[in-house]
Chains A and B, each alone.
Chain A
Amino acid sequence: MRYSLSWLKEFIELSVPPERLAQRLTLGGLEVNRLEAADGDWLFEAEVTPNRADCLSHLGLARETAAVLGRTFRFPRWLSREFQLPRGEQAAPFPVTIEDTEGCRRYIGIVIEGVEARPSPPEMVKRLEKMGLRSINNIVDVTNLCLLELGQPLHAFDLDRLEGGQIRVRRAKAGEKLRLLDGNECALTADQLVIADAKKPVALAGVMGGLLTQITPNTRRVLLESAGFQPSLIRRGARIAKLSTDSSYRFERGVDPEMVLPAAVRAARWITRIAGGAVVSIADIGQAGMPSPTIPLRPKKAQEILGMKISAGQQRRFLQHIGCQVRASGRNWAVQPPSWRADLKIPEDLHEELARLFGYDRCVPSLPPLPRRPVQPDPLEDTSVEREMQLRRLLAAAGLQEIMGYSLLHPQDPAKVSMFGRGVVELKNPLSLEQAVLRNTLLVGALQAVARNFSWKTSEEFRLFEIGSVFGTSGEGPPPGYPIETRMLGLLVGGISAPSWGQPKQPLGIFHLKGILQLLRERLNFSLEEVPAPSGAPEPGILLKLSGKPVGRLGIVDPSVAAAFEIPEQISLAYAELDLEPYLAAGRFIPKTEPLPKVPPVQRDLAILISQEIPYEKISAAIREEGLPLLKSLELFDLYQGTQVPQGKKSLAIRLKFLDGDRTLTEAEIQAAHQKILDRLQKEFSGILRY
C-alpha cells in the first residue's frame, strides 16, 4: 500500500527522518519498498503481508509506527471527535435486513438528506491523486478517503434509486445480473453476497457498487453503507467476478469490527460538511464486534523458544504498544489483542510480535548444541538425491553435458515424439498453449536443445543428458487417467565430433550411447539388459530391462521426428530414456573388492569370418558359454565387412583373456579352450578362422 507521510502525521507526532522511519518499519515487518519525496511530502510504498490487514490504512500505519518506535498509540483528539454520533437524527432508521447473517455480521446505513454532489475541494483531489486514485465527486471521494484513512470500506448509494425503500443483504440468485460501477455486467451466482433493494441486487457486497444506484449530480439523498462481511465470502465473490478492488482487498484480509460504526460516523460528518445536508437516521443491524479471545502467554517460554533475552517487563510493554490488554500474573499471562489484530490467535503469534519489536537482529545466532540437535534420519534410508548426483557426475565425467528442459510443453510436442505412448497429462489452468501439458519424455527438451545449438552454430556434436521427472497417465485403471510421475534419465548422442588436427571427424551414434550405458552398468552396479525390440514394434530399437521388467528404450531418432524440431537431416541422433526409480530405490552402492590375481591373464586374439546375418550378441554368447571356466573376458576390437572379405560375410576380431585364479595356465590348456571356442563357432555359425 502507498502511504503519505504528511497524512500519517495527522495521527502521530513524528520527528524521525523518513529514511529512518522506513528502515524501522521494514525491520518491524512492514517492508518499505520505495520511498520518494513528492511535492513537499514523502510517499512510502510498503508490502503489507496478508496477516496485517490492520496496516492497510493511515491510522493502521500510525499504530504500527508507534509500536516499532516503542511508543503507545493514542487516538488524536480531532479523530475522537469525528467518531461521535451527530445529534439531531430523528427519523426512523432505514429498513435493513440481513438475510445471510454468516456473510454479513453487521450493517450500518446512515441516511443523509439534502446533499449536493459536486467536485471535491482541491486538497481532497490532490490527496486522492497522490494515493493513485481518481476524484469522482465529493461524496464518493469521502468514502474513498475514509477507506485509506481508517481501513473501513464504505459505499454511498443514491437512496432514491433504491426500489422499495429497503436494503437486503443476501446471497445472489442464479440468473441475477448486476451492472457494476466499472460498466461491466456481472452474472451472479449463489456463491456471491449482494446488497439488494426490494427487487434487485444493487451492489456486489464488499467488492463494488452498482451503476444504477451510484451518486450522480442529481443525487439528493444518500444511503451511506458501512458493514462487516465474512472475508472468505467476499474473496469468493470478487474472484467469481474477476475483480480485486481496494474494498475487497481489505474485506478479504479482515477489517476491524470496531471500526464499522466510527468510520461510518466520520464519513457522514465529513459528507455533510462538504456536500451539505444532514444525517436524518442511522440503522445499525447485526452484532457489534465480539471481544477478542484471550491468549495464554508464558514469558519464560517465549524467551526460550525465541532465544532472545526479553524481560517480562519488556514483553508487557511490547504487547501494550500493539494495543493488547495484558493480565500479567505469575508465569501464565492472559493477553487480549485489540479488535484490529484478528491475526493474533495463539501464543506463537505473540512470540512473533515480541521478537519483531525486540528486533530479529538482536537474537543471537546459535547452532543447536548436542542435547537439542536433531538426529539425522538413517542416511541409508533415502539416498535418491545422492544417487542422482552420483549419476550426474559420472555422466559429466563421461563427456556429457547436462541440460534442463521445461516440464510444461505445447500439446504438439509430445505428439511429435510419441516414444512411450503414455497418455499426456494436461493442465486445467495453463498460462498459454505453449505450456499446456506435462512432459511425458525428456526427448523433447533434448531435441529442442540440439535445434537451438545447431541453429546458433554452437556445436555439431551433441552429448547431452537430463535427469528429471516426467509424467503420464496410466493406460489402465484404477482409476484410469491417474497421473504417474517418474524420475527419468534421458541421453542423447549424435552429430559429428568436432575435428582436431591429427584426429579425424567422427560421427557419434548409437554405439557411443550403448557405451555410456555400459559405463553405468559397470560403475553404478546397474544391471541393465538390452533386448532388441520385437519386429513389428511401433519403434525399432532396443528395450532396456531390469530384472525382466522394461525400464526404458534406446534407439535412433527417426529423421522425420528430428525434422519436426527443425533439426537438419545430416545430424543423426541416438536417444535413450531410462526409468530411474529402481536405480534410486536400490540405495547406496558400496562395492566390495576382490583380491588381485597373482598371474597375468593369457591373451589370445581371434579373427573369424562369419555370415553378416548373425548378430554379435549370439556370437559373443556362444564364445562365453564355450569359454567357461577359463575365459574371463572378450572384447570386440575390429569389425570389417567390405571388399576384402567374401560377400555376405563379416570379419570379427575378438580379444580373449584366459585366467584361472592364481594358477599359471599351460599352453595346452589354453590351446584346448581356444579350439573349443573355434569348434563351436564353426559348427553353429560356419565361422572360419582367418588367422
Chain B
Amino acid sequence: MPAEQQKHNELFYACKYTPIELLAGFGATPRIAEADVASFAYADALAHPNLCGYGKGLIERMMAADVHEAVLVTCCDVVRRVYDVLQASGRMDFLYLLDLPHRRGPAEVALFRRRLRALADAYAAYSGVQFDVGAACAACGTGVARADDRVTLMGAHASASLVAEVEKGVGMPVENATCTSRHLKVSPPPQLARMATEPACGACCDGGATPAGNPLDAFLDWYAPALLGQIPCMRMDDIAERSELVGERGQQGVVYHTMKFCDYYGFEYGALAEKDEIPMVKIETDGTSQSEGQLRTRLEAFGETLRARGGAAQQAQPAPAVSGDAPADTKAAAYVMGVDSGSTSTDVVIMDADKHIVATAIVPTGARAADAAARAMDEALSQAGLAASDVALRVSTGYGRDNIEGMDSSVTEITCHARGAHYLAPDARSVIDIGGQDSKVIHLNANGSVAGFVMNDKCAAGTGRFMEAMARVLEMDLDEFCRRGLEWRHEVRITSMCTVFAESEVVSLVAANTPTPDVIHGLDVSVARKTATLASRVGAEPPYLMTGGVAQNEGVVRALSEVLKAPVATHEDSQLCGAIGAALIGLQSLG
C-alpha cells in the first residue's frame, strides 16, 4: 500500500452486500460511492451511453483521483461491466469483484463465506494489516429507529441529494430503502466482541465462552449469513421479504425511484402499483440532478395528496407577501386568482366567491415566467374591472409557480388540474393532460381528489414539444399540422416515440412520398399509444377529460379515444384547467 494512502485508506463501494464491516476489520474506511456527477463523459467513452445512470456515475466517480481502493459486487449487469472498465483502466491500487449468490440457502451461505474469505485474504495481502475482530464488530453498528410519519424511498440507488430532495418535496422524513442502503438485521454475538479483548478459552464455544480458533473465521461464520440476510434487493431470487418494506406502521407513502436502463426496480414498482396498498409516486432519474422541475412537481403533489389523505384540509399554505402591496382584506374582498405558469403559456383565472369565473387571460410564457405572469394578471384584472387589492388570495401553479411575485401560496399542477377538471367535468374520473413539456394522467376519486397520477419521463416523447418538433420536420405550423392530420386516408405506423428516432422515420416516409396527412395521423396515433400506456399505469378509467395544449389537436384526441376504447372529452376552457384549480383551492382556503 502506498504510504500516502495509508493515511486515508478509504475504500469505495456501491452495493449493500459489500462486506464493509469485514473490510473495516482490516483498517479500511468504507465509503459509499456517491455517483451524482455532472456528466458521463468517461463512462460514455469507456463503456456505453445505454447503461444506468448509477453505473455510469460509478465509473466517473471511481476514475477520480481520490479513489484508490474499491470493492464491487456482481449485483447487476451494469456493475459487472463497471468493474471491467475500471479493471482495464489499471488505475486502482486495490479493485475486487465479489461474486454474490442469487439465493440465500445453506449452500449459498457456504459459497459466499468462501468468497468473503478470499476477499479478506486478498485485502490482507494488499494492506499488510491483520484482521481486528473488534473493529469489524464495532463497524456493525446498531439499527436505525424509524420516524413515525415518514415516506419510504424505495427502488434504485438514491444519492444523498436525491434523498434530501424527496424530503424537501414531500415534506416528511424519508426512510431510505433503495438498493444501496444497507442494514444488517442482527448484531454480532457477544462472544465475537470478547475475542477482541480476551484470549480464546481453547474449549468449544457455547454458553457465552470466548470462541476458540481464528477470529476471522469465527467472524465470517456469523457474518456471511448476516450479510446475506438483509432485506433482499430485487436481484435476489426470493424477494418475498421485500413486502416488509411496505405498509409498516407510520409509513405514509412510498416514493419509488427508478432509473433508465436499470432493469430491476420498474418491476417492483409495477407490482406495487397493481396492489394499490399504499400511496405511491414514481420518480425516474438518470442519476444526475437534472430535471428537478419535474421531480419537484411530482414530489410536492405527492406530499399534497398524502396530507389530503391524512384528513387535513387541503389548504394552500400562506406564504409571506412578496410584493409591497398591503394584504387584501380577505373578508371584504370576494375574488381569488389562480395563476398557472406553464412552459408554453401562462394562464390566469379570477373567480368570485360563488365559484364563477369572472375573467381569464392566456399569454405566451416566453423567456421569463415572472414577466408573463405579471402581464397575464394585469390583463385579467383589467378584463374584470378589478384592482389588485380586490383580490383576496392568489395561488400559483405550474412549473414557474415559485418564481411569480405576489403569490400567497403555490400548489402543484397535479392537484390543481384535478380540482379544475372536476369543476369543468364533474363526472370525469381521469384527466389526460398533455402540455408542452410533459404529459400526465391523473386518476380522480369521485369527489375530484387525486387518487393517483403518473407523469412522463423527462424525454419529450408524447408531449407538445414532440408534436412541435414533428411539425417543424414537415415544415408547417402547428395549426396546419393539426388540421392536415384529420385528412388522413391510410394508416402509417410510426414505431418510435423518441423525438430523434421519429424524426428519422418521418424523413424516410416523406422521402417515400407518403401523403403528409397519413404521416401526421401516424404521429397522432403514436402519441395516443404512449399516453394510453401511461394511463394504464395509474389505473385510469373513463370518463376521460383531456386538457393541456395538445387537447387542441383533434387528431390526437380522436386517436386517444380509439386506443382507450372510450370517448375522450375536451372542454373549451381546458387550457385554463390548472388556473381554475388554483383559484378553487384559494377559495377553499378562504373558507
Is chain B a partner of chain A in the same complex? Answer: no
- Report A's interface with B, CB cutoff 8 A: none
